[in-house]
Amino acid sequence: MSKEKNISPGSVPPERLLPLDAVAELKRLAKEIAYHDTAYYQQDAPAISDAEYDALRQRNAAIENIFPSLVRSDSPSKKVGASISENFSKITHAKPMLSLANAFSTKDVVNFLEKTRRFLQLPEDEIIDIMAEPKIDGLSVALRYENQRLVYGATRGDGSTGEDVTANVRTIAEIPRTLPADAPDVLEVRGEIYISKSNFLKLNEIQAKEGGKVFANPRNAAAGSIRQLDSSIAARRPLQFFGYAWGETSVPIENTVQNIRQKFIDWGFKLNEPSVLCSTVDELNVYYNKIISMRPNIPYDLDGTVYKINKISWQERLGQVSRSPRWAIAHKFAAERAETIVNDIVIQVGRMGTLTPVANLEPVNVGGVIVSRATLHNEDEIIRKDIRKGDRVIIQRAGDVIPQIVSVIFERRLKNSQSFVFPNNCPRCGSKALRKEGEVARRCTGGFICPAQGMERLKHLVSRDAFNIDGLGGRIIEKFWEEGLVRTPGDVFRLKNNAKTLLQSEGWGEKSVKKLLESIEEGRRIDLSSFIYALGIPQVGQATAKLLAYHYGSSERLLGSIYATKSTDGESIDALVQIDGIGTSIVEDLTAFFNEQHNQDAIKDLISEVKVSDSFVEVSHNSPIFGKVVVFTGSLEGMGRNEAKARAEVLGARVSSAISTKTDFVVAGKGAGIKLRKAKELGITILSEEDWVEYISQP
């Protein structure tokens, strides 16, 4: 154990690392961070301080940022934490979690101050200090610390009872797991879990690419992420935390909000800034207007400001009315609106082929931001609001992120204006754009041949969980795409024919070209489920790909069956729908994808370049490992990690990446280290690769 503890955080600055050193360094960091994660998540006994741990993660992130193509499949940036499998249990808040009353105008703020003075019976000349803070739009949680250790995290719920989201909360780096000794023995810090505006956009891009849920705004994304049952998913979401209030405490923290904020900072919490101590309505208004002007540059969503009586003894006297304290008020932002003209309506094609109508507007200032485009969401929205080219419209910046058209000023509509006709074909590639029943979006079926989708699909094709071609990361695909070297999946495997061109490219030498071509050769062999996943079919993530692979067993059977499908009521469709876990919506996406001739051609071409190995048959319910939890560690010689995992899953096991007391078997391959040691400590059955193969081959 002490060996890992003493590993230095790495002395060479990330920007000075050579690619090969970066590979080694990322491997070392992955191992070390995994060790500390296990210590923290499974034993609740961190071996290093939060700051040291953060430094390791920051270094890992900095190196990955410089070398995106070297990001490991087991990178700490991808997964942290232990999985939880049960639904959330409930936690009763020691003190109810209240909400805030709203002020929508200066008059409301004046009323708040007057009422406070009256209630406290303070003379006119008595100064009432008020702490003004930004009102962040996220999800409120309570963090309970006992003896300076985080014991739980709970959502607000109905105010008296919330959900136990401890496992997810523990994956948030900004939430201290331990507090300094001067923190009270019982301390409940309350605050907001949120996702920044830029991380929200990145997250949605990833979600769209992986066929996951695309969130409407950062608040929904934060709420959805903290309520994930699998904490390894929450861990991958860019959640952050601001502390701004408290619940039960064993001793009073301090006598003013200002001092308590300072304590929170001392104890390692992040606070929303700028906060200003004010004492008049004018000062509050100056603060409010300042926040409005800063709003576009504040990295997270705000929906107002919050004013809190600074003196805690006054707060206590004021108490609460219904579900809000009398000592605080939220001064909400008005929706920012403006009038402008729709110059054009254009269709954008997203990376997953979704057609989104966008209005090009006459640029207009909306609350300090120049807006020249507004989303029209989908074709129904255009019809519902009857938005046409040339219309005068009212626009609004909603939730601080995407400007929207609120309404058309019909009186000012041009005489010759015409209704907008939504195209049935993709404006980028001409393929059919289909709208499934019950869905609002129309999607291009062009797949690989659509330039809007092609490059992203190729990035997905070569990614770790797909063809896993080392050294062919996002930037290289972009470069090769622009140079016309790769345009279809098959092109990737024909790059060897372009070795000369590659050698002449900037940044490429004999060694690097050789290495790249070698990894492409290695990548030619792929298992069926990774192959299906690699195709990047909407809604077909790894799990669905696995189901299809188990069901069909071979690429021939899969493609033969799907190509035979010509309409949504064919026999093969019925067969598909009968696969447990595959609903009609996925079937429609599958058939739309495979029915496009371009996609059929691209797949046929790809198949001629690669070797897709058959999958194993149905999940067995009477295998010796049915229902067991298995962890693979070290490198397996007989089969790739993905295949080993798939095989175990077919036999009904659950494959986990972290060792815990719930682990039944650890299969230790070559070079197994920390996990193997941990397994020994916990007395878990350890199998060699050979033992494992023998064990699962039992009749």
**164 sits near ligand IVH (criterion: CB under 6 A):** no
Chain centroid to Cα 2, Å, comes to 34
**135 sits near ligand IVH (criterion: CB under 6 A):** yes
Which residues, other chains included, contact 599 with Cβ-Cβ below 8 Å and sequence gap of 6+? 445, 446, 447, 448, 449, 593
Cα–Cα distance, 149 to 596 (Å, whole number): 57
Query: Which of residues 141 and 345 has its CB atom nearest to ligand IVH in the complex?
Result: 141
Task: Give the shortest CB-629-to-ligand IVH separation in angstroms.
Answer: 37
Phi, psi of 272 (to 5 degrees): -80, 130
Task: Give the shortest CB-98-to-ligand IVH separation in angstroms.
Answer: 4
Task: Give the shortest CB-403-to-ligand IVH separation in angstroms.
Answer: 23
Task: Give the shortest CB-330-to-ligand IVH separation in angstroms.
Answer: 5
Query: Contact region for ligand IVH (CB under 6 A) — 95-103, 122-130, 260-268, 420-428?
Result: 95-103
Cβ–Cβ < 8 Å for 663, 684: yes
Token pair 């994930």 is found at: 228
Please pick, from the candidates 99, 554, 613, 620, the single residue that binds ligand IVH as defined by CB under 6 A. Answer: 99
Task: Give the shortest CB-655-to-ligand IVH separation in angstroms.
Answer: 38
Report helix, strand or coil for 278.
Answer: strand
Taking the alpha carbons at both ends of the chain, their separation in whole angstroms is 40
Cα–Cα distance, 183 to 145 (Å, whole number): 9
Cα–Cα distance, 424 to 412 (Å, whole number): 30
Task: Give the shortest CB-54-to-ligand IVH separation in angstroms.
Answer: 24
**249 sits near ligand IVH (criterion: CB under 6 A):** no
Task: Give the shortest CB-91-to-ligand IVH separation in angstroms.
Answer: 17
Residue nearest to ligand IVH (CB): 140
Which residues, other chains included, contact 79 with Cβ-Cβ below 8 Å and sequence gap of 6+? 232, 235, 236, 657
Please pick, from the candidates 83, 140, 225, 663, the single residue that binds ligand IVH as defined by CB under 6 A. Answer: 140
Q: Are strands 629-633 and 654-656 parallel, antiparallel or unpaired?
A: parallel
Instruction: Classify residue 107 by burial, with Cβ atoms within 10 Å: 0-12, 13-18, 19+.
Output: exposed
Please pick, from the candidates 284, 306, 644, 696, the single residue that binds ligand IVH as defined by CB under 6 A. Answer: 306
Query: Which of residues 100 and 461 has its CB atom nearest to ligand IVH in the complex?
Result: 100
Cβ–Cβ < 8 Å for 156, 192: no
Query: Contact region for ligand IVH (CB under 6 A) — 131-139, 338-346, 402-410, 527-535?
Result: 131-139
**136 sits near ligand IVH (criterion: CB under 6 A):** yes
Residues of this chain, 327-386, that bind ligand IVH according to CB under 6 A: 328, 330
- Please give the full DSSP string across 301-326, using - where no structure is assigned: -EEEEEEEESBHHHHHHH-EETTEET
Query: Which of residues 306 and 547 has its CB atom nearest to ligand IVH in the complex?
Result: 306
Query: Which of residues 140 and 354 has its CB atom nearest to ligand IVH in the complex?
Result: 140
Report helix, strand or coil for 459.
Answer: helix
Please pick, from the candidates 272, 396, 561, 615, the single residue that binds ligand IVH as defined by CB under 6 A. Answer: 272
Please pick, from the candidates 325, 357, 523, 536, the single residue that binds ligand IVH as defined by CB under 6 A. Answer: 325
Query: Which of residues 162 and 490 has its CB atom nearest to ligand IVH in the complex?
Result: 162
Task: Give the shortest CB-154-to-ligand IVH separation in angstroms.
Answer: 13
Size of the site for ligand IVH (CB under 6 A): 15
The residue among 65, 70, 68, 35 whose CA lies nearest residue 53 is: 35
Query: Which of residues 274 and 296 has its CB atom nearest to ligand IVH in the complex?
Result: 274
Cβ–Cβ < 8 Å for 102, 62: no
Q: Which of 79, 135, 308, 628 is catalytic?
A: 135
**260 sits near ligand IVH (criterion: CB under 6 A):** no
Cβ–Cβ < 8 Å for 185, 386: no
Instruction: Classify residue 666 by burial, with Cβ atoms within 10 Å: 0-12, 13-18, 19+.
Output: buried
Cα–Cα distance, 419 to 119 (Å, whole number): 59
Residues of this chain, 185-244, that bind ligand IVH according to CB under 6 A: 192, 244
- Evaluate the omega torsion of the peptide bond into residue 274 and state whether it is cis, within 30 degrees of 0: yes
Give the x/- contact pattern for ligand IVH in 410-439, rule: CB under 6 A: ------------------------------
Report helix, strand or coil for 613.
Answer: strand
Cα–Cα distance, 499 to 345 (Å, whole number): 44
**161 sits near ligand IVH (criterion: CB under 6 A):** no
135 is catalytic: yes
Bridge partners, 547 (sequence order)? none
**98 sits near ligand IVH (criterion: CB under 6 A):** yes
Measured over all CA atoms, what is the biggest interatomic distance in the chain, rounded to whole angstroms?
89
Query: Which of residues 328 and 361 has its CB atom nearest to ligand IVH in the complex?
Result: 328
Query: Contact region for ligand IVH (CB under 6 A) — 98-106, 161-169, 397-405, 503-511?
Result: 98-106
Task: Give the shortest CB-245-to-ligand IVH separation in angstroms.
Answer: 4
> What is the set of active-site residues?
135
Residues that bind ligand IVH (CB under 6 A): 98-100, 133, 135-136, 140, 192, 244-245, 272, 306, 325, 328, 330
